[in-house]
Amino acid sequence: MTKLSYLHEPGVMQNLAARYELNEIYTYTGNILIAINPFQRLPHLYDTHMMEQYKGAALGELSPHVFAIADVAYRAMINEGKSNSILVSGESGAGKTETTKMLMRYLAHLGGRSGVEGRTVEQQVLESNPVLEAFGNAKTVRNNNSSRFGKFVEIQFDKSGRISGAAVRTYLLERSRVCQISDPERNYHCFYLLCAAPPEEREKYKLGSPESYHYLNQSKCYKLDGVSDAEEYLATRRAMDIVGISEEEQDAIFKVVAAILHLGNIEFAKGEEIDSSVIKDEKSRFHLNTTAELLKCDPKSLEDALIKRVMVTPEEIITRTLDPEAALGSKDAFAKTIYSRLFDWIVEKINVSIGQDPNSKAIIGVLDIYGFESFKHNSFEQFCINFTNEKLQQHFNQHVFKMEQEDYEKEQINWSYIEFVDNQDVLDLIEKKPGGIIALLDEACMFPKSTHETFAQKMYQTFAKNKRFIKPKLSRTNFTISHYAGEVTYMADLFLDKNKDYVVAEHQDLLTASECPFVAGLFPALPEESSKSSKFSSIGSRFKLQLQSLMETLSSTEPHYIRCVKPNSVLKPFIFENVNIIQQLRCGGVLEAIRISCAGYPTRRTFYEFLLRFGVLAPEVLERNSDDKAACQMILEKMGLKGYQLGKTKVFLRAGQMAELDARRTEVLGNAARTLQRQIRTYIARKDFVLLRKAAIQLQSCWRAISACNLYEQLRREAAALKIQKNFRYHTARLSYLTLQNSAIIVQAGMRAMTARSEFRFRKQTKAAIKIQAHVRCHREYSYYRRLQKAAIVTQCGWRRRVARKELRNLKMAARETGALKEAKDKLEKKVEELTWRLQLERRLRTELEDTKAQEITKLQEALRSMQIQVEDANARVIQEREASRKAIEEAPPVIKETPVVIQDTAKIDALTAEVESLKVSLLSEKQASEEAKKASADAETRNMDLAKKLQEAEGKVDQLQDSAQRLEEKLSNLESENQVLRQQALTMSPTGKSISARPRTTIIQRTPENGSILNGETKPAHDKALVVSNPKEPESEEKPQKSLNEKQQENQDLLIKCISEDLGFSGGKPVAACVIYKSLLHWRSFEVERTSVFDRIIQTIASSIEAPENNDVLAYWLCNASTLLMLLQHTLKANGAASLTPQRRRSSSASLFGRMSQGLRASPQSAGLSFLNNRMLGRVDDLRQVEAKYPALLFKQQLTAFLEKMYGMIRDNLKKEISPLLGLCIQAPRTSRASLVKGRQQASAVAQQALIAHWQSIVKSLNNYLNMMKANYVPAFLVRKVFSQIFSFINVQLFNSLLLRRECCSFSNGEYVKSGLAELEQWCCYATEEYVGSSWDELKHIRQAVGFLVIHQKPKKTLNEISNELCPVLSIQQLYRISTMYWDDKYGTHSVSSDVISSMRVLMTEDSNNSVSSSFLLDDDSSIPFSVDDLSKSMQQVDVADVEPPPLIRENSGFVFLHQRSDL
């Protein structure tokens, strides 16, 4: 920076800003390095390659860098053998710590040496940083990780320049931060790290969140952005392991930290005595006990040490108690003392771990210390920090002046003494004895009654005439010191408390007696004479001694300076705040160093650099062969400069002379540039003129060509005009002639037309007269014929009416007779008894068969067992005989006396041998008998298996019989229901029974166990109360309200019937009509009355709506409404009350259509209106509460079920009718297509191929139309699936039966045609989705397998097993035989299956006919209803009827207000 032309503050700021924008963060000011914090990572500046570049390079040879300063210090130490020091200073957040790390990295790179356990000393020092930062760094206003202590690292080197040891010295830890912090700062990091430790460790230390501790919650800042305290805690633990702190010591350290937190939460209250204090509450007592537990001392002793003091007098020892305020101060002093001792122990442990070399040759010290601080509120810590910076600034000024002096002497120039700012007066103000500020502060601390006010007044009196001391006007305790960097105002309120450094004897004794060795080691026992009384010790005095020791160390070394600068206060990159930076440069003394340089010769250039830059001012000098010094002399003389000096190698210029030379140089270069510009402009102008002339010539030639073209165009137009005039005149004359000719022709034609019209008019009138005459005669005859016809019809109608009335009377009489029904019932009962008898017979036969089988098996097992016993006996006898023979031979005498004896023995042996042979024969016979018994047992097992199979078949038949019996029971139940309905109708139509509606008033009595019930189809005796009791004696005035209510109910029913007769549509996918009917019936309590006509009217409305069976939209609409209403009834109605009119036996839900229709059509139309309308509000409709339904409601449910099945069948049958004609066309390919296939022509056009599948596409279209129609009417997906399932079954039956009945259909080409059509159906199933189609595709299994068999190749090679089990497992043997015998290949001429397979099929068919198996090969179409009410109810989703908006017809009617109430709920 000293090479700048203008060396002043704006020039310095402009230079720093320009370099900062280029990420050039380092700048030299002489030998001083300015480092601006980039607030971002710049790894390319600090890699190994960069270290190699600066290794051995002279200062200034390369770009400014921190490595250059470290290299200069190292080279000076090696070459001169003298210790060096590097002073890194700057305010908080300027990057001092990172700069220190880079310095140590480079020094380790130059003189690295492996340390203990493979780690270098530099690595050990760096590894100690996380530990020191955790216990010595905190968040301040300006920095999130500010070091609250000074650090001086001594790196020791041996004779060869290798690192041999290191030591860390710390200065002035900010102890007051332990107890007092301001918002938004934080306490030391270790407290927050411990609160973020794992749960088990926090539980061990009994810690909670930071918000719960007084030493931490004084500020609302608990976490740092982008920093995880939990991770930092683990990192600190690992760093403590690395520096050699054991697990036990770590645990003890964090116990002390936790004890400090608990100690801060202890509060005191006034005691019973005057000026006494006690523990405030149980919470404080808990923290006191926890602190004692962590420090392993007695809780009572800890309490006494906090609230009591011992005074030793010559006469006696006095114990006094402290007031709450004094006890609080004692507690805080105790906490600060413990933390300070703990920090000193950690530093000492790190130094022991790193290791020091007492025999080192030299050291390089790196000082990382806080910079000058000036806040809004400055206290004792800022006072000490600024005192340190005053000392360092004095050392800095002296060193800068000394370097200037050395440079002048080295170049041997004439120079005079340069004045520089000396701050010795400020240092005297602070540290002078006995009148300095520190001395006054120590004196005030030694007097018990001194306060901060008396201390401030003492300073005001002592330094009233000192120009560096200023008393603020509006404060009684503040004071201002004029430092070298500016004035700073200090608050003396806490100076006395923060300056006291002595340890209270009670605290010392308490912790010395601790059972924890670590805590006791922090407070070693004092000598006896010092332990009896507390001697005064101040932080100020101790810090002054430390600072004096540091200055002595720095003075004994060669210093190098690095000034770290923080470019902005928001800590973000690429932001350069000029005011902030200029203030830091002033505080760092950089501008003062520049001023010192400007006072002498600030600008210095070597002769070569000077000539290279300013040689253009005197070119003739460079052409001479004179030396560089003489050439520089001539140039300066030519420019007329005065006051400069020439040294041995450099030119020394006064301030401003460099700028003057630059101006003259710029003028010379400007004149040369103008000369060059003039020549260039001449060349450009000449070039432009030549181009312009060439362009003018080209334009002239083009213009002449255009003129000639225009003249030619004019002549051509004149000739054309003459030709046009001639043709126009010709055209005009021709047009006039043609007009005249047309006029003559028109006149002639008009005359002829008038004559023709007159003739035509006459003929037309004549013809009209003739036609009128003919019509009059025809009308007369036709009228006579119509009168005869009408008379005949009237006669026929009268006769037919008479016959019909007679037949009607007969039918009514027949309806009253139940004999026929009873006879049918008896027949069914007999059939059921017969089936029951057959079932019992089958069961008895099966039981007897099992008993016979068990007896045979038992007999065979006994026979086998007896045979085995005989065989064993025979074997035993043979063995005995052999033993007897052997013994006889052994016992025989050795000498044979006479022949008879020999003969006798031989006879005995022969007898034994014969007996043995006979036993062998008997053994063989027994074995043969055993084999026969085994064979008999195997045969018996085979028979048993056959019997088991027959038993299974019998069980299947029994199940079938049970199903048949169940169906018969259902039919019987239906007949009984019909019989009961007929009885009810007979009662209502009997001449003795009168109409209920004719009575004046009825009282409805609910059926209870007291008034009567029906059991097993029988009524109670006549003496029980009747259901309907008339009371004709009541006054006529009570009949009118009842009548009005009935009329109102009847009007509401009429309006409901009129409303549902219209198409109400759907609301949110829910049918409006069904929901309105359900809500109305539930509100009117129609389900719980004995007689009502509303159900019959609803059924009649539905019946009238579906009279047109061809209107599928109406059928689908009512199918959706009926299914929804039936589902709601299924969930609402209980059938308990139905036992009064139906048998006790529950009827199956799948009753026949005839039974339900007969009940609906035969219901009595004379049911009277019910007076159930009242003012009671019902519960929510969508709750579907259970209602005990009466007979009309159950009958309505059965009729609704019948209509549902009827509408379902009508839709299904309509679809069948629509696709039936198409199915006949789909089973056989068109003749043209088949002919082309037989002849082998493959070149059919696209139109022909489309015609082949046109019928199938028509079927798909019909299916799709019905699907869309049912979707549009929201028919339940369950019913849609059932419809298409039966339709696909119908398609399967029709196609399959047609295939088996027509031989021309059983061909190869026809199979391909049907297969392509089935592919269309499969594609439609995929389009329609499984939700609406379900398993309909599986219903085509017969035709699919049959078609697959037709189109398969190499049929003769297929076996019967492959065909029946793999290709066509669904088809029966009769069906396979039919297809195999009818098959013919009209495309390739191949054969059907082999003759062996045909023979096997015949054999199987014969066996099936013997076993009474049906031999029919055709399929039957199932037209039954494939579902029940329960199935439908379970498959449908619950309908929320409360959300359905009522239709407009009843929306405003007062009788249907409940519909709005339900929708609003």
Q: Which helix (H) or strand (E) holds 934?
A: helix 899-989
In terms of C-beta density within 10 A (0-12 exposed, 13-18 middle, 19 or more buried), how is residue 550 classed? buried
Among residues 379, 343, 184, the alpha carbon closest in space to that of 260 is found at: 343
Helix (H) or strand (E) holding 478: strand 478-483
DSSP string, 966-996: HHHHHHHHHHHHHHHHHHHHHHHHSTTPPPG
User: Annotated catalytic residue: which of 30, 93, 600, 1209?
Assistant: 93
* Contact by Cβ (8 Å): 27, 69: no
Dist. CA 296–CA 299, nearest whole Å: 9
Count CA atoms closer than 13 A to 629's CA, side-chain side. Answer: 8
- Rg value, the chain, Cα: 63
Helical axes 1308-1333 vs 1277-1301, angle rounded to 10°: 170
Q: Which residues, other chains included, contact 1413 with Cβ-Cβ below 8 Å and sequence gap of 6+?
A: none
Report how far residue 945's alpha carbon sits from residue 939's, in angstroms, rounded to the nearest whole number.
10
What does the alpha-carbon distance between residue 828 and residue 833 come to, in Å, rounded to a whole number?
Answer: 9
Which member of 29, 83, 92, 1380 is catalytic? Answer: 92
The tokens for 83 are 């210790």
Q: Is 1136 one of the annotated active-site residues of the chain?
A: no
Measured CA to CA in angstroms, residue 1011 lies from 2, 350, 1460, 1461 at distances of 124, 104, 38, 36
303, 373, 506, 926: the catalytic one is 373
Is 992 among the catalytic positions?
no
Which of 147, 1093, 1167, 1364 is the catalytic position? 147
Tokens of 398: 């002296």
Residues sharing a CB contact under 8 Å with residue 179, sequence separation 6 or more, in sequence order: 215, 264, 332, 335, 336
CA distance 591 to 595: 6
Using the structure block, give the residue that is written with the tokens 């709450």.
324
* Contact (CB, 8 A) for 540 and 441: yes
Q: Is 92 a catalytic residue?
A: yes
Catalytic residue, chosen from 146, 973, 1167, 1285, is: 146
Give the residue from 45, 179, 41, 156 showing the smallest Cα distance to 107. 156
Neighbouring C-beta atoms of residue 948, cutoff 10 Å: 13
The one-letter code for the residue type at 1283 is: V
Q: Determine which one of 97, 265, 499, 1124 is catalytic.
A: 97
**Tokens at residue 1311, please?**
């199979």
**Is the preceding peptide bond at 434 cis, omega within 30 degrees of 0?**
yes
User: Is 93 marked active-site?
Assistant: yes
**Longest alpha-carbon distance in the chain:** 186
Going by DSSP bridges, is the β-strand pair 32-36/558-565 parallel, antiparallel, or unpaired? Answer: parallel
- Provide the H-helix boundaries in 1091-1144: 1094-1105, 1112-1132
Instruction: Note the helical H segments in 1227-1245.
Output: 1231-1239
Burial 1264-1278 (b: 16+ CB within 10 A, else e): eebbebbeebbbbbb
Question: In sequence order, what DSSP letters do the residues of 1342-1410 get, joined into one string?
Answer: HHHHHHHHHH-S-GGG--HHIIIIII-SSS-HHHHHHHHHH-B-SSS----S-HHHHHHHHHHHHHHHH
d(CA 660, CA 657): 5
Q: Does residue 143 carry a catalytic annotation?
A: yes
Residue in 72, 53, 70, 153 with CA at minimum distance from that of residue 107? 70
Which is catalytic among the residues 143, 937, 1030, 1236? 143
User: What one-letter code names the amino acid at 775?
Assistant: H
Amino acid at 866: S
Give 1066's strand partners.
1071
Both tokens assigned to 1105:
């709506």
Residue written as token pair 């498959």: 1435
- To the query of whether residue 146 is one of the catalytic residues in this protein, the response is yes
By annotation, the residues acting in catalysis are 92-93, 97, 143, 146-147, 371, 373
